[in-house]
Amino acid sequence: MQTSGYMAYVKTLRTVVAASALAAAGLAQAQLAPFVTPQLTLAFSEDLMGALAVGGIQTSPIAPAVGKVSDNSIVIAAPLVDISGDLARPVIYFDSFTSAGGVAMVAPTANFATSGGSLSVTNVHVDLASQGIYAKVSGANGLSGRSVRV
């Protein structure tokens, strides 16, 4: 097996799958970083950054995800904990993958843009066979640990 061709294929597949998955939400851009430990990387768009700033919303990673949060960018990297597919062929076909951890967003006080509260998105699962993307969504105001399809 040619390692450089394989890695390029895997990198391209990861990027396409993750970007399609999270861009469908319209709130973020995503890609999978081709590191030794696969991870799902969520980078917030400028539009979302502006909306969070207007609402005074604080953002942080939820372990085991790690992230870099500043006034200019938010990047959260969640490790992939489950990858399934046909791994026995020269070209690997992924059926699904799941990340651990995620991102928390907290609006500490009510203001003109928000009524306060919190929202967390964790454990993103991408099922390529059914073309579904799922995540556990939790938060204040009666939103408790629901699995939703994006």
Q: Is 142 helix (H, G, I), strand (E, B) or coil?
A: coil
Cut 0.85: pTM above it: no
Beta bridge partners of 148: 135
Q: Which residues have a Cβ under 8 Å from the Cβ of 92 and sit 6 or more positions away?
A: 6, 9, 10, 85, 86
| Residue-range definition of the domain harbouring residue 106 | 3-149
Structurally, the chain folds into a number of domains equal to 1
Q: What is the pLDDT of residue 9?
A: 42
Q: What is the pLDDT of residue 21?
A: 46
Do residues 90 and 75 touch, judged by C-beta distance below 8 A?
no
Average pLDDT per block of 10 residues along the chain, 150 residues long = 41 46 45 60 88 90 93 90 83 87 89 84 91 90 80
Q: What is the pLDDT of residue 36?
A: 54
Q: Measured at the alpha carbon of residue 70, what is the angle toward residues 66 and 72, in degrees to the nearest 5?
A: 125
DSSP class per residue in 59-92? EEEETT-EEEE-SS-EEEEEEEEEEEEE-SSSS-
For the chain, where are the alpha helices, taking DSSP H only? 3-23, 46-55
